[in-house]
Amino acid sequence: MPTRTARTAWTGGLQDGTGQVELTSSGVGKYEVSFPKRSADNADGTTSPEELIAAAHSSCYAMALSAEIGNAGGTPQSLDVTAEVTLGADPAGGFRISTVALTVRGRVTGLDSDGFAAAAAAAKSGCPVSKALSGVQNITLDAALES
């Protein structure tokens, strides 16, 4: 299996510094990062590790769910997956990812609501990014079929 790479160039201290994350494996872009904007409600055009984790988790989960639906005999027509990753205080000091909230709405043929819920739960536990985030104490899932 391939290895993917990203690189960050950082200058300055935590509060006054800035950086640029480059997705080097794909070459699709460079994105600005800063701690003050990372911890602010308005990102003001910068990304953050949490947003990048959310992107990784939502896309990985969509792939895993697509596979689980197929394994259960269904056919995914469309899946809309959102991951919300929250940075919070760590009781031991510093910061940690405190929650991840996955929300999925799907249009699927060949599965009822119970079958979809079972596939959604299996995808949550089987997704490689979910596994990588196993240290996050609160990962929630809200999954529903749409008609």
Give the chain's residues under pLDDT 50.
none
Question: What pLDDT sits at residue 91?
Answer: 93
Q: What is the pTM of this model?
A: 0.93
The CATH class for the domain spanning 49-145 reads alpha beta
What does 32-99 look like in DSSP terms, one character per residue? EE-HHHHTSS--TT---HHHHHHHHHHHHHHHHHHHHHHHTT-EEEEEEEEEEEEEEE-TTSSEEEEE
Predicted local distance difference test score (pLDDT) of residue 1:
86
User: What is the C-alpha to C-alpha distance for residues 4 and 24, in angstroms, rounded to an integer?
Assistant: 8
User: What is the model's pLDDT at position 119?
Assistant: 98
75-89 and 95-109 beta bridge pairing: antiparallel
CA distance 119 to 71: 9
Q: How confident is the model at residue 137, as a pLDDT?
A: 87
Q: Tokens for 81? A: 């997956």
